[in-house]
Amino acid sequence: MAAYLCMVAIFIIGSFSWVFPEAAASASHGAVTRHYNLNIRLQKVTRLCHTKSMLTVNGKFPGPRIVAREGDRVVVKVVNHSPNNVSIHWHGIRQLRSGWYDGPAYITQCPIQSGRSYVYNFTITGQRGTLLWHAHISWLRATIYGPIVILPKLNASYPFPKPHKEVPILFGEWWNADTEAVINQSLQTGAGPNVSDAYTINGLPGPLYNCSANETFKLNVKPGKTYLLRLINAALNDELFFRIANHTLTVVEADAVYVKPFQTDVLLIAPGQTTNVLLKTHPNATSASFLMAARPYFTGMGTFDNTTVAGVLQYGKPSMTSLNVSIGLPLPALPPINGTAFVANFSGQFRSLANSQFPANVPQTVDKRFFFTVGLGSSPCPKNQTCQGPNGTKFAASLNNISFALPKTALLQSYFFGKSNGIYTTDFPSTPLNPFNYTGTPPNNTMVANGTKVVVLPFNTTVELVVQDTSILGAESHPLHLHGYNFFVVGQGPGNFDPSKDPAKFNLVDPVERNTVGVPSGGWVAIRFRADNPGVWFMHCHFEVHMSWGLRMAWIVLDGTLPNQKLPPPPSDLPDC
């Protein structure tokens, strides 16, 4: 039993249940290697009275959790028993000199073909908190995702009171339809894809949908205790507001980096982001129930899934009579769908701890500056077709007006073996080729260019990147995710970035450090990072629909001169295309 000392019992209606074997991570000495097997299979799953065949991992949805301590090596054998090509990304893991295991298909590896396997092998260095793993090809991450829990090193403690229990809470999106058919149809016709039918908490849509009362996530708590909720947004296309009725949350960590704690009733979490919060339960509540709820933040022009997922926070022992308590409980109030003012205020509250134990190593000088626009646009309709995107074109999305075309082979292999010819070019523009009033009246020509273009960075370059949203086809927040690095969010603001005034206001002392940041809708964000991890690193919008439309690019970070500044050669089981 000792191995399950810190087990959290979560009572869940339905077939979904898991426990948290936190103590299973405690080996007697320092860092260890943790072995996992992930088996990907087609399986029938029912939600909203709708049964579909979908990809699951180890028969679970969401998938199993990966638990390790900071400093541990993680070795995961992924076996693809499914008919699809698959690759898995360990989202937010820095992958220091282990870029072969990062996972985005056609960037760091060719996908694992049906019937094949690949062993991912990486060390978790200097990170602790919550991350996620997910498929990184087409829209397969709709059902292939799970939590990564990184505990502090053995005998190290949290910089906040030790929680009574720890609970992962994964937000997702459920489609009754097959998500591969949804995105393939969108890419074919040029129209926006159908939206999801429900949001989910740990795979369960909750009582606010038709035929889903038995699919409600339920968190059973004791009064007067502190719970650590590991929030993960694994939804495909939606930033979500989240709130637990009558409870205040304390944010303590974001993207596996501790932050200066702050309290909030409502959270915003973008796809790809993770947030650890402390939930202090009421001291005197013995048998009360409260709803927790999440629904989207959206400012764009298109359609979106405007529904609400709810779960139940239940004080006291679950009983059969409590099964239907959720009906009639008040929904917690959430900001308006387009609550940009709330979002600006909320994101402004994140600060690094920036103390001696957890310093914020913000680059104080900048070697290379970049300015990328981010947003939607159009691509031409093929001659023999009619398209259903804007004005008879196809929807596209771009960075600096370039819609990134995925190559047919992996960029990292092409780069490493010096075979870039015909695969990619190194002329990704560092600033827009045709500047315009980015958040004003959009230009008449909204056509994007396309290509497989990258930026090459010498080892140890300090980079400052300003990402500017555009109002082409509607201003929208874009959760920008960088692989292989955390970055510091040194500034953000509404409207157009002003290079003469805004840099003076940058926070170079305790900016938040993360791997995914929402580029403000109709605004800009400035990030800094030091390019000290050689490899090919994808950067993209974490809205799957925008990524499919081309909102993605890659950085190639060259080797340094010392042996420990070079990317080792690939493993022998690296998949072929």
Ligand X SMILES: *[C@@H]1O[C@H](CO)[C@@H](O)[C@H](O)[C@H]1NC(C)=O
Q: Which of ligand X, Cu ion, none binds 541 (CB below 5-8 Å, type-dependent)? A: Cu ion
Please, which residue, 175 or 258, has the CB nearer to ligand X? Answer: 175
Please, which residue, 34 or 230, has the CB nearer to ligand X? Answer: 34
Structure tokens at 115: 């019937």
Pairing of strands 516-519, 478-482: antiparallel
Question: What is the nearest approach in angstroms of Cu ion to the Cβ of residue 299?
Answer: 12
Q: Which of ligand X, Cu ion, none binds 446 (CB below 5-8 Å, type-dependent)? A: ligand X
Phi, psi of 492 (to 5 degrees): -160, 160
Question: What is the nearest approach in angstroms of Cu ion to the Cβ of residue 546?
Answer: 3
**How many other CB atoms are found less than 10 A from the CB of residue 211?**
12
Residue by residue, DSSP assigns 329-369 as: PPPPP---TT-HHHHHHHHTT-BB--SSSS-----SS-SEE
CB-based burial of residue 443 (10 Å sphere; 0-12 exposed, 13-18 middle, 19+ buried)? middle
Q: Considering the rule CB under 6 A, would residue 186 count as an interface residue with ligand X?
A: no
- Indicate which single residue of 39, 58, 176, 246 sits in contact with ligand X (rule: CB under 6 A): 246
Q: Which of Cu ion, ligand X, none binds 26 (CB below 5-8 Å, type-dependent)? A: none
Q: Which residues contact 435 (CB under 8 A, 6 or more apart)?
A: none
**Number of alpha carbons in the 13 Å side-chain half-sphere of residue 347:** 29
From 157-165, 300-308, 401-409, 544-552, span contacting Cu ion (CB under 5 A) = 544-552
- Indicate which single residue of 161, 440, 458, 499 sits in contact with ligand X (rule: CB under 6 A): 440
Question: What is the nearest approach in angstroms of ligand X to the Cβ of residue 159?
Answer: 26
Q: Considering the rule CB under 6 A, would residue 143 count as an interface residue with ligand X?
A: no
Alpha carbon distances (Å) from 339 to 240, 274, 291, 310, 343: 11, 20, 21, 20, 6
Binding residues for ligand X restricted to 72-111, rule: CB under 6 A: 75
**What's 23's DSSP letter?**
G
Q: Considering the rule CB under 6 A, would residue 214 count as an interface residue with ligand X?
A: yes
- Nearest residue to 411 via CA among 549, 577, 565: 577
Please, which residue, 76 or 256, has the CB nearer to ligand X? Answer: 76
Q: Which residues contact 453 (CB under 8 A, 6 or more apart)?
A: 402, 404, 424, 425, 426, 427, 428, 429, 553
Please, which residue, 15 or 324, has the CB nearer to ligand X? Answer: 15
- Nearest residue to 241 via CA among 297, 281, 313: 297
Structure tokens at 163: 């929680």
Q: Which of Cu ion, ligand X, none binds 500 (CB below 5-8 Å, type-dependent)? A: none
Question: Is residue 137 within 8 Å of 105, Cβ to Cβ?
Answer: yes
From 22-30, 181-189, 501-509, 536-544, span contacting Cu ion (CB under 5 A) = 536-544
Q: Considering the rule CB under 5 A, would residue 279 count as an interface residue with Cu ion?
A: no
Please, which residue, 171 or 543, has the CB nearer to Cu ion? Answer: 543
Please, which residue, 218 or 546, has the CB nearer to Cu ion? Answer: 546
Question: What is the nearest approach in angstroms of ligand X to the Cβ of residue 301?
Answer: 8
Q: Which residues contact 500 (CB under 8 A, 6 or more apart)?
A: none
Q: Considering the rule CB under 5 A, would residue 472 count as an interface residue with Cu ion?
A: no
Question: Is residue 130 within 8 Å of 232, Cβ to Cβ?
Answer: yes
Q: Considering the rule CB under 6 A, would residue 53 count as an interface residue with ligand X?
A: no
Question: What is the nearest approach in angstroms of Cu ion to the Cβ of residue 543?
Answer: 4
Please, which residue, 14 or 503, has the CB nearer to ligand X? Answer: 14
Question: What is the nearest approach in angstroms of ligand X to the Cβ of residue 75?
Answer: 5
From 56-64, 133-141, 440-448, 546-554, span contacting Cu ion (CB under 5 A) = 546-554
Please, which residue, 181 or 333, has the CB nearer to ligand X? Answer: 333
Binding residues for Cu ion restricted to 431-460, rule: CB under 5 A: none
From 228-236, 270-278, 411-419, 442-450, span contacting ligand X (CB under 6 A) = 442-450
Please, which residue, 478 or 481, has the CB nearer to Cu ion? Answer: 478
Q: Rounded CA gap, 363 and 352, in Å?
A: 14
Please, which residue, 2 or 563, has the CB nearer to ligand X? Answer: 563
Question: What is the nearest approach in angstroms of ligand X to the Cβ of residue 223?
Answer: 9
**How many other CB atoms are found less than 10 A from the CB of residue 442?**
19
- Indicate which single residue of 46, 114, 324, 430 sits in contact with ligand X (rule: CB under 6 A): 46
Q: Considering the rule CB under 6 A, would residue 434 count as an interface residue with ligand X?
A: no
From 165-173, 323-331, 401-409, 539-547, span contacting Cu ion (CB under 5 A) = 539-547
Q: Rounded CA gap, 120 and 74, in Å?
A: 8
Going residue by residue from 359 to 398, which x/- string records binding to ligand X, judged by CB under 6 A? --------------------xx-x-xx----xx-------
| SS3 labels along 180-237 | HHHHHHHHHHCCCCCCCCEEEECCECCCCCCCCCCCCCEEEECCCCEEEEEEEECCCC
Q: Considering the rule CB under 6 A, would residue 338 count as an interface residue with ligand X?
A: yes
Structure tokens at 536: 């090919």
Please, which residue, 6 or 325, has the CB nearer to ligand X? Answer: 325
Q: Which residues pair with 352 in a beta bridge?
A: 259
Phi, psi of 413 (to 5 degrees): -65, -45
Q: Rounded CA gap, 491 and 512, in Å?
A: 10
Q: Which residues bind ligand X (CB under 6 A)?
A: 14-15, 46, 75, 119, 121, 214-215, 245-246, 283-284, 306, 336-338, 340, 379-380, 382, 384-385, 390-391, 437, 440, 444, 446, 450, 460, 473, 560
Q: Which residues bind Cu ion (CB under 5 A)?
A: 478, 541, 543, 546
